[in-house]
A and B are shown apart, each in its own frame.
Chain A
Amino acid sequence: MDWALLLDKTILIVIIFAVSLGIAAYSTYGERKIAAFLQDRIGPDRAGPFGLLQPIADGIKMFTKEEIIPTASDKFLFIIGPCIFMMTALMSSAIIPWGKSFNFGGHEFSLQVADLNVGLLYLFAVVSIGGYGIMIGGWASNNKFALLGALRAASQMISYELAMGMSIVALLLINNSLSLREIVDGQAGDGNVWNVVRQPIGFLIFLICAFAECNRAPFDLPESESELIGGYHTEFSSMKLGLFLFAEYVNMFISSAIIASLYFGGYHFPGIDSLDLPQNIAAIVSIAVLFAKILFFIFFFMWVRWTLPRFRYDQLMNLGWKILIPLSIVNVLVTGAWITFFK
């Protein structure tokens, strides 16, 4: 066992864990602020300057609320549901390359927890398990609204994972790799462009599916507070509810990171290599570039949420099965044909 490697990874995991949770916390603040601005309001501004302490106040509120476990619920599953959801949301951050490597006196410090050569497959596996968190939580509540929400979440996630997978297949044909590090590096350097230019249809499909996978508006049918009260988290209270709500924002953060990595060059930007920066500076710049892209996509998630109304259930299924899946298959065929005949 290489102790230096273990130490490196432990430090990195702790940092990523903290940053993910921090960004998720401030996403709740950002969401409320952006919602307010888009509706000509001000939003939270009482807790601290500009309301910046609001997420902390919300966190304290969540922790100190009364913990209610319904008597008719399956207690073990009721508790494990939100835990699974939160855990999978955090696990998917392991394969994301957060920037170029640092170099401390000859010691390479990689900013990726695990450079799996099956990175994207791992991502899909983890995201699929996330669906279980919602399903188990909704089913264990023993409440019809929660059950309906859980059912919707399950069917929605399965439907949209297919199209998402197919859009990734087209990406693989171009990049010849499942490793996220290689996909990101394949978008930089001479003659290479961002994948969004090479795969515009695939990007659109992936983006729509990412919205659906995160249960974000306009695909927030599992929650749909106006029809199902709170959907799968109707019966949850206190920090278990907090975990569900929080995990949604962690998911959003990770999805934004993956969209940025897969289609927008990750931590690269055009011309980054011509600057000829020292390695450690270049690493810091690359982190900043990636986070700028991530923040933009988080903003985009919110922007869409406060623009579009929710889909009806049949519209959701029509869009998934009758439009996105055929479109993604055609996209794979066209990409394959292009590679076969023109490369």
Chain B
Amino acid sequence: MHGLLSSNNQITPNTKTELDMQLTNRSKVVVKHDLNWLEKLYLPAIFSGLAITIKHLFKKSATVRYPEEKREIASVYRGQHVLKRDDKGRENCTACGLCAVACPAEAISIEAAERKKGEENLYREEKYAAKYEINMLRCIYCGLCEDACPKDAIYLSDRIVPTAFSRGNFIYGKDILVEGIDASGRVDVSKRKKNYEMEGSPKQPLLNK
């Protein structure tokens, strides 16, 4: 690199130091030159290549055998969505539609309905989502719906969306999205909630920062 740069008068000392900054010491300057007779034989190069590949024979493979083996994911991983219930098992969602508006991929569609008498144990607010669908193929898992939600209703969880055989099967309705009422059905999103709590309460979107 020094040889190349010193021959070039256009480069000022300042830019030179910038270019000299290296992240690793593995980079190697390759200069094109005529091959000498040993290099023309190609055999030394072939043997060094064979040596490199044989070394990989004894290296640990990077494969994760997926369905049996799951790779470790970050604690704040943004995976399949969950619609939360409150402590009494009532759905938090009030079908305000802010998540659908915030969604850059337009993956969310909501139909609202009014809570009837006697449904107070099902829905927390007077209005609720009769239909709540997320198209998992459109979703880009950005988490903006979570930021937009004023009711603590939607979160991205650390579950990976499973595969399916048809596109229709990727449109998740409330039957899949809403978490269960009993303790075993609840989805833990405390790790993702922490993200917001650090910024101060009540929930404040990180995006505006």
Contact = CB atoms under 8 A, between A and B. Distances in A.
Interface of A: 34, 36-42, 45, 303-304, 306-308
Interface stretch (B14-22, B54-62, B148-156, B172-180): B54-62
10 contacts: A38-B53, A40-B59, A41-B61, A45-B65, A303-B53, A304-B50, A307-B46, A307-B49, A307-B53, A308-B46
Nearest to B55: A38
Contact of B50 (A37, A45, A303): A303
Interface string B26-70: 000000000000000000001001101110110111110100000
Contact of B63 (A38, A42, A307, A308): A42
Nearest to B64: A42
Contacts of A36: 61
B61 A42 contact: yes
Interface of B: 46, 49-50, 52-54, 56-57, 59-63, 65
Contacts of A303: 50, 53-54
Contact of A37 (B46, B52, B56, B65): B56
B61 A40 contact: yes
A306 B55 CA distance: 13
A128 to B, nearest CB: 28
Contacts of A39: 56
- The residue among A40, A42, A307 with the most chain B CB atoms within 10 A of its own CB is A307
Given A37-B56, A303-B54, A42 B49 contact: no
A306 B63 CA distance: 18
Contacts of B62: 40-41
A303 B56 CA distance: 11
Contact of B57 (A37, A45, A304, A308): A37
A40 B54 CA distance: 11
Contacts of A41: 61-63
B61 A306 contact: no
A34 B61 CA distance: 12
Contacts of A307: 46, 49-50, 52-53
A38 B57 contact: yes
Nearest to B60: A40
Contact of B56 (A40, A42, A304, A308): A40
Contacts of A306: 53
Contacts of B49: 307-308
Nearest to B52: A307
B153 to A, nearest CB: 41
Contacts of A40: 56, 59-63
A38 to B, nearest CB: 5
Please indicate which of the listed interface residues A34, A36, A40, A45 has the most CB atoms of chain B within 10 Å of its own CB: A40
A40 B63 CA distance: 8
Given A37-B56, A38-B53, A40-B62, 7 more contacts: A38-B54, A41-B63, A303-B54, A306-B53, A307-B52, A307-B53, A308-B46
Contacts of B57: 34, 37-38
A332 B193 CA distance: 80
